[in-house]
Structure 1
Amino acid sequence: MDHSTHEALAADELTDSNLVDATIYGPGDEKVGTISHLHGAGPGATVIVDVGGFLGIGSKPVAIPIVNLNFMRDESGTIHATTTMTKDQAKDLPEHRD
């Protein structure tokens, strides 16, 4: 997927209602995980991402600072994000517990 043609989200669009269920892509467009919810707001917010598993079963929630993600909207309006973190690096993060 060519993310260079996608529209970046404005800061006021980084809300639970827009980001929940968004896919996070790592280097090489590998799927790192899916956003389950946010903690906080603004640049200090943390995104809780479900990594691993299959169809939501056996996935592990991890916390990633929102500043480590680049959120955008593709041509069809679907919101997603990119990161420099690989799926394996995300899996190695400590499990997040609410």
Structure 2
Amino acid sequence: MDHTNHVRLAGNELTAEILTGATIYGPGDEKIGTVAHLHGAGPAAQIVIDVGGFLGIGAKPVGVSVGDLDFMRDEDGDVHAVTSWTKDQLKAMPEHRDR
């Protein structure tokens, strides 16, 4: 997917309503996870990504800072993010547990 024409999201768009369910793409433009939910909003939010699994079953949740992802909208208005992390690097992170 060519991200050069995609529009970066503004800080006020980094909300659970907009980001939940967004696909995360790795450095090779492969799908590596989806946004499960957020803690907080805006630039200080923590993003919980479901990595691996099949149809959400068996996925490992990992938490990252919203600043570690580059969120944008494609030509169809769909929100997604890109990161330099690979799926294996995300899987190696500690599992996120809601408290």
TM-score for both structures, normalised by structure 1: 0.97
Note the alpha carbon deviations across 1:66-97, whole angstroms, 9 max, x for none: 00000000000000000001100000010000
Structure in which a larger fraction of residues adopt helix? 1
Deviation at 1:43, TM superposition (A): 2.3
Over aligned residues, Cα RMSD in angstroms? Answer: 0.7
In the alignment, the residues of structure 2 paired with residue 41 and residue 12 of structure 1 have an alpha-carbon distance, to the nearest angstrom, of 8
- Could you tell me which residue of structure 1 aligns to residue 81 of structure 2? 81
Between the aligned residues of both structures, percent identity stands at 63
1:19 Cα deviation from its structure 2 partner: 0.3
**SS in structure 1 of the partner of residue 47 of structure 2:** strand
Gap runs ≥5 in structure 1: none
Inter-partner Cα distance in structure 2 for 1:33 and 1:42: 20
Q: 1:45, 1:21 → 2: CA distance? A: 15
Structure 2 gaps, min length 5: none
**Which residue identity is paired with 1:87?**
K
In structure 2, what is the Cα distance between the partners aligned to 1:44 and 1:13?
12
- Amino acid of the residue matched to residue 47 of structure 1? I
The alignment's TM-score, normalised by the length of structure 2, stands at 0.96
Does 2:51 align with 1:51? yes
